[in-house]
Structure 1
Amino acid sequence: MNKLSNKRYKIAFISFVLILSILIFKIWNNIYTNQYAINSKVVALRGNIYDSRGRLLATSEVVYTAYLDIRYLKAIAGNAFKRDPDFIKMLSNFGLSEKLVDLDNKNILRLGSFSKREEIQKKIPPQYLKFVNIEQEERRISIQDFALNFIVGRTEQRCGISGAEAYFDKLLRPIRDGIISISYSSFIGNRVKSVRIEPENGKDIRLTIDISLQKKLYDFAKKYQLEKQATEVGILLMESKTGKIRVALTTQSWPTYYMGYLEPGSTIKPILFAAALELGLVTPETNFYCPGYIKPIEGLDLTIKDLEKHENITLYDGLVHSCNVVSILTTKKIIDTYGQEKLYEILTSFGFGKETGIELLGEIPGKLNPPDKWYRADWAFIGIGQSIGVTPIQLLAAFNSIVNDGIYVSPTLDESGEIRTKKILSADTAKIVKTMLLDVVEKGTGVNAKVDEIKILGKTGTAQKNGKKDVTALFIGQVKLDKEYTILVWVDSPQKEKLSSIVAAPLFKNVVEELIQYQTKNSQNSNNAEIPNIKGWTIKQLISLANEKKLNIKIHEKGLYVDKYEFEITSEGTALNVWLSDLPPL
């Protein structure tokens, strides 16, 4: 009996030792191969989006998001938790009381996101903590006011879905999350090893938009829309030489400047006149006769009216006074000599009928049918900016080709992007049309866009809307300040006045004045850091400063000492206005 008992003890002991050995080996193996490591994810963030002056338009922050595992909770507690006051209070803490009735249809319930983990833990009763998973996540923050939402765009699940967020998504998107790993480096009792791999965030981008100027002009546009009882006011402002868009806004609820099109009206005339001049079909002195209307196609019962009877008029004055008859007859010279295909080629060379390539997804090509799809009189209507649909961004770039000495510059929102250009007109042709556009503002249909002592080239355009009494009033032009800017403004369906010379031209003037005021203020702020307080300085000191800083100084009033001074943006650059007095100021 004793022998049998001893044998059983031995077998039990051997079995125990064997099981213990296997267990110890498994533990050692798991530790040695890092299977007992504690790993924690460190969320990588999307890159920031900045405006042209380095101010944040969009950024990201790390937040903690709580998820309630309802399936696990049901497996442990059944449905009794739904009646638990602590559970009901927890949902209330997260503002989710109404979700109680939907729990049967969910496996996971998102409780909310907070800046700190502790904020979440305070809202959860202790008995429910084990059913809640708290994860690090990225929260995107961006400026969506002042029509910037169309430019900056939005994200969803860490991916850009509209605007610059979508176009530059590959650059902005986080590259990889980081990891914090704490593990045993050897067997039980040895030191703890900690490894941290930093997250790799997405790249930052810088847009051409000036957020302060955008806000300033957006606020003005909203007031102007109300004043004119219009459905929309839009403004595009671009550097002529670089194509960099500094302001892009519409008061509409969607971005019409690249996702909508309009008939350009008379703003197309400079383009057609330039093409005819380039082809040698006309000169500025070419004579026409305007009886106040035109029948463009013989034998067809079609009459296109002009605003007035111009009688004998040259090509030059035809643009200055926006004569429809001159424009249609000039267009007729093109198709009579080269065919309708040449007119189509001219329009496409200026960028109509295709996307400009602006860095915004969803840009449309406008509406320009090929010649084989044209109606018999389409060429004549195109001559006055009808039977063609252009996006405002297309029209801006096309007109800019003329005032930019015949060079087309692709509009861009990428501050660091490459400037894309192509020559479509000779400099001589562009110079002739620019002279005409200057007189449009000085003595033609665009006089209401004139700003004293500022050089402005421009053209009015009043586009009839299909089958409606409403119009779209446009003015497009170039102004020379610290640099040359090409600006397009449009007012859709104004109810008080209709003509662009009365509605859009004054708006253009207002935009230029707002731009001058904005630049003057910025110049004063920037120059204050570089130029000392010159109040009380003598003439000799002023001359020395002007030579050192290469400043253009304008002296007002006679005297020996500087009494006051201010900066001003002019067509020649930044000027320092100085008022003198006979005695040193106190």
Structure 2
Amino acid sequence: MNDGRIRVLLFIFLAGLIFYVVRGTIIVSHFQKIPISPSTVILPAPYGDIIGAGDCPILQNTLSYDVYVDVSHAKALSQLEGWSYPGRVIDVLNYFGINTDSKTVSNIINSGKGGIEVGLVNENKIYSLPSDWVDFLNIQRVYVQSKVATSLNVVAKAIQGEYENYIKPKKNGEILYDAFGPYAITSGIKEFVKPVGGDEIVTTINPSIQAYAQSAIEKAVLTNAASGGEVIITDPKNGDIIAMATTWPWDAPVMDVFEPGSSIKPLIFSAALQEGIVDTNTTFTGPYYIPDPNIPLVIKDAEVHPWPIDLREALVYSSDIAEMKIAKKFIDTVGDQNYYNWFLKFGLGKKTGVDLPSEVDGFLTPPSQWYGIGGQEMAIGQSIAVTGVQLISSLNSVVNGGYLIKPHILKEIVSPSGSIVSVYTPQSTEIFNSAVTQIVRSFMIDVVEKGTGMPAKLPGVLVGGKTGTAEKSSGGKVSTKGPYFSIFYGFFPADDPVYSILVMVDSPSKGLYYGEDVSAPVFHDIGEYILNSGYLQTDQSHVFSSFAMPNLKGLTLNESLYILNELSISATRISFNGDGVVLEQSPAPNTPISTVKNVKLVLGSPF
């Protein structure tokens, strides 16, 4: 009996087992994989970097995270998982520093609907998130651009704005996953699209010099209780902008204008020499000048000096009397319009074309709007307005041999693959002949050696420059009591300039306001930093060192004697013949000083 039951049960079990095996085989044989919607992960593309001299970064990409708190989803999760809403939502908002007591945030939390944008968060915050918060957070990886130093804030923003179309990401990447189920689930990467970032912008900016220039102009503005200031540093021979610092939060060197005052005089001297209005033997008498007998105006020089003076001394003493007499003869000789056209040749009254946004034209008073002595006033930097980048570019033409060169920030643009997208192409126009610029450049050296620019002197290097002090309009009027623009333009090494620096301080109010007192010392500090940092060591021929014979060509006898005396070569060891500037010298430049016994100079006219 028992054996029979066991057999029946065993038969039923085996029959059932066979049934399910057969049934399972039939199901499996008819099973088809059902595709599940593919999953995509976005890979954000980075911005292109902005690079300065020596591959130093100016603007870099930083990986960050954009966080959004999904309040509606958090409330639904609390009901499913059994935690008390809005506890975790408040915790996560406090974690990210969001004020939960604000009206907008508290309304969203109380309603349990919508969401709250946290914004960009650094990766450390994300990595430290408690796991039970993540389910109701939407976190997206993004790249943001970050400046490497506060001294680069304004110039980096300007470059970014100018080249936005190049540096912005070209295309985000993505990873596409495929999945199948429900029994034989397989998953994997179906497609990978590589992100394409923005182009790299390689610039002429030297971040180290930029940082020092920014510090120097901020110090000058603070020391002199001024309203602001700017510094521009260029290579006068190719238009490279090496630094552009300002105390204003916008790019003032291309956006703001000021009267250049006497800093413009080297341009007038150069044009007058080229037109034959004056020559190196021209002299001027003083001590006052009445430009128009019908106007109650008497011009006097700010510097006390003997009379008469020659052309060189006129620039050294920054004589307004001489300058306005030159302008009067200039206008009488070539006419109002041709005189005015020279200011256009200088590059004034129009944009330089620098590759920075929001550049303005500046202002020139046309002959039709001259009142009384308007044309003569322009020669001393009045009745005109310039930007810093205009002024330094025009003055550079006097020290680089006569070329007005378009200033620029860009060196090249490089694609993410390393190919060259664009390279800067120099653009220049010759406005002076080189003989004229040699003369005026030697005058500008004397301005620093024994004139108004003496505070700009640098140890071991010959410097040239020009001061400027301009009355600033206040309430539509100007006053000899101020406020003023304090200006200095300088260049070095003077025999073959590598650096030119323009300093402008707006409305100094601590008593000192002349360019020589306020702005020339800033030039000195920045120039000394450049020298001490070794930026001239790659070209020792430019430096009047203690071991090499300098290049004296184009300098006057006095300038040459001064330099040689600094090198311990006394006047008794020097012979010369002729008059004018040095045309030939023996020994040749760069001859070791230790081998020099005597020096012979041949002087003559540069024309």
Give the counterpart of 1:504 among 519, 527, 530: 519
1:172 correspondence with 2:167? yes
Q: Residue 262 of structure 1 aligns with which residue?
A: 258
**Shift of residue 201, structure 1, vs aligned partner:** 0.7
- Cα distance between partner residues in 1 of 2:486 and 2:253: 14
Q: Residue 86 of structure 2 aligns with which residue?
A: 84
Question: Which deviates the most, 184-193 or 310-319?
Answer: 184-193
Secondary structure at 1:334's aligned position in 2? helix
Q: Residue 314 of structure 2 aligns with which residue?
A: 318
- Cα distance between partner residues in 1 of 2:497 and 2:271: 27
1:95 correspondence with 2:102? no
Q: Residue 19 of structure 2 aligns with which residue?
A: none
**Shift of residue 310, structure 1, vs aligned partner:** 5.0
Q: Residue 10 of structure 2 aligns with which residue?
A: none
1:514 correspondence with 2:515? no
Secondary structure at 1:37's aligned position in 2? strand
Give the counterpart of 1:477 among 490, 494, 499: 490
Q: Residue 244 of structure 2 aligns with which residue?
A: 248
Q: Is the 8 A contact 2:220 2:518 kept in 1?
A: no
Q: Is the 8 A contact 2:74 2:89 kept in 1?
A: no
Letter in 1 for 2:236: S
Q: Residue 461 of structure 1 aligns with which residue?
A: 468
Judged with a 3 Å threshold, the aligned counterparts in structure 2 of structure 1 residues 300 and 576 are, in CA distance, closer, same or farther, namely: closer
- Give the TM-score normalised by the residue count of structure 2: 0.73
Give the counterpart of 1:488 among 474, 490, 502: 502
Secondary structure at 1:180's aligned position in 2? strand
**Shift of residue 523, structure 1, vs aligned partner:** 6.8
1:41 correspondence with 2:50? no
- Cα distance between partner residues in 1 of 2:128 and 2:316: 72
- Cα distance between partner residues in 2 of 1:427 and 1:216: 33
Q: Residue 439 of structure 2 aligns with which residue?
A: 432
Q: Residue 64 of structure 1 aligns with which residue?
A: 65
- Cα distance between partner residues in 1 of 2:183 and 2:322: 95
- Cα distance between partner residues in 2 of 1:55 and 1:412: 18
Q: Residue 152 of structure 1 aligns with which residue?
A: 156
Q: Is the 8 A contact 2:67 2:139 kept in 1?
A: yes
- Cα distance between partner residues in 2 of 1:244 and 1:520: 15
Q: How does 1:347-386 map to 2 (within 5 A)?
A: 347-386=343-382
Judged with a 3 Å threshold, the aligned counterparts in structure 2 of structure 1 residues 522 and 406 are, in CA distance, closer, same or farther, namely: closer
**Shift of residue 257, structure 1, vs aligned partner:** 1.6
Q: Is the 8 A contact 1:406 1:425 kept in 2?
A: yes
**Shift of residue 193, structure 1, vs aligned partner:** 4.4
Q: Note the alpha carbon deviations across 1:95-142, whole angstroms, 9 max, x for none.
A: 22336631447844113444459937834745xx55432222222221
**Shift of residue 385, structure 1, vs aligned partner:** 0.7
Judged with a 3 Å threshold, the aligned counterparts in structure 2 of structure 1 residues 272 and 520 are, in CA distance, closer, same or farther, namely: closer
**Shift of residue 496, structure 1, vs aligned partner:** 3.4
Q: Is the 8 A contact 1:82 1:100 kept in 2?
A: no
Q: Residue 143 of structure 2 aligns with which residue?
A: 138
**Shift of residue 363, structure 1, vs aligned partner:** 1.6
**Shift of residue 190, structure 1, vs aligned partner:** 7.5
- Cα distance between partner residues in 2 of 1:322 and 1:284: 16
Question: Which deviates the most, 113-122 or 243-252?
Answer: 113-122
1:287 correspondence with 2:283? yes
- Cα distance between partner residues in 2 of 1:186 and 1:89: 38
Letter in 2 for 1:139: V
1:301 correspondence with 2:296? yes
Can you give the 5+ residue segments of structure 1 that lack an aligned partner in the other structure?
Answer: 1-19, 154-162, 525-554, 557-571, 578-586
Secondary structure at 2:519's aligned position in 1? helix
Letter in 2 for 1:448: P
Letter in 2 for 1:232: G
Judged with a 3 Å threshold, the aligned counterparts in structure 2 of structure 1 residues 185 and 285 are, in CA distance, closer, same or farther, namely: farther
**Shift of residue 191, structure 1, vs aligned partner:** 5.1
- Cα distance between partner residues in 2 of 1:431 and 1:272: 14
- Cα distance between partner residues in 2 of 1:390 and 1:82: 67
Q: Residue 176 of structure 2 aligns with which residue?
A: 181
- Cα distance between partner residues in 2 of 1:414 and 1:428: 31
- Cα distance between partner residues in 1 of 2:219 and 2:65: 42
Letter in 1 for 2:371: Y
Q: Note the alpha carbon deviations across 1:542-562, whole angstroms, 9 max, x for none.
A: xxxxxxxxxxxxx99xxxxxx
Secondary structure at 2:401's aligned position in 1? coil
- Give the TM-score normalised by the residue count of structure 1: 0.75
Judged with a 3 Å threshold, the aligned counterparts in structure 2 of structure 1 residues 507 and 121 are, in CA distance, closer, same or farther, namely: closer
**Shift of residue 423, structure 1, vs aligned partner:** 0.8
Judged with a 3 Å threshold, the aligned counterparts in structure 2 of structure 1 residues 352 and 188 are, in CA distance, closer, same or farther, namely: farther
- Cα distance between partner residues in 1 of 2:295 and 2:484: 26
**Shift of residue 175, structure 1, vs aligned partner:** 0.4
**Shift of residue 168, structure 1, vs aligned partner:** 0.9
**Shift of residue 487, structure 1, vs aligned partner:** 1.3
- Cα distance between partner residues in 1 of 2:359 and 2:488: 22
Can you give the 5+ residue segments of structure 2 that lack an aligned partner in the other structure?
Answer: 1-26, 413-423, 540-566, 569-588, 595-607
Q: Is the 8 A contact 1:64 1:117 kept in 2?
A: no
Judged with a 3 Å threshold, the aligned counterparts in structure 2 of structure 1 residues 311 and 522 are, in CA distance, closer, same or farther, namely: closer
Aligned length: 491
- Cα distance between partner residues in 2 of 1:401 and 1:168: 28
**Shift of residue 226, structure 1, vs aligned partner:** 3.5
Q: Residue 21 of structure 2 aligns with which residue?
A: none
Judged with a 3 Å threshold, the aligned counterparts in structure 2 of structure 1 residues 228 and 133 are, in CA distance, closer, same or farther, namely: closer
Question: Which deviates the most, 416-425 or 487-496?
Answer: 487-496
**Shift of residue 450, structure 1, vs aligned partner:** 2.6
Question: Which deviates the most, 42-51 or 56-65?
Answer: 56-65
Judged with a 3 Å threshold, the aligned counterparts in structure 2 of structure 1 residues 324 and 117 are, in CA distance, closer, same or farther, namely: closer
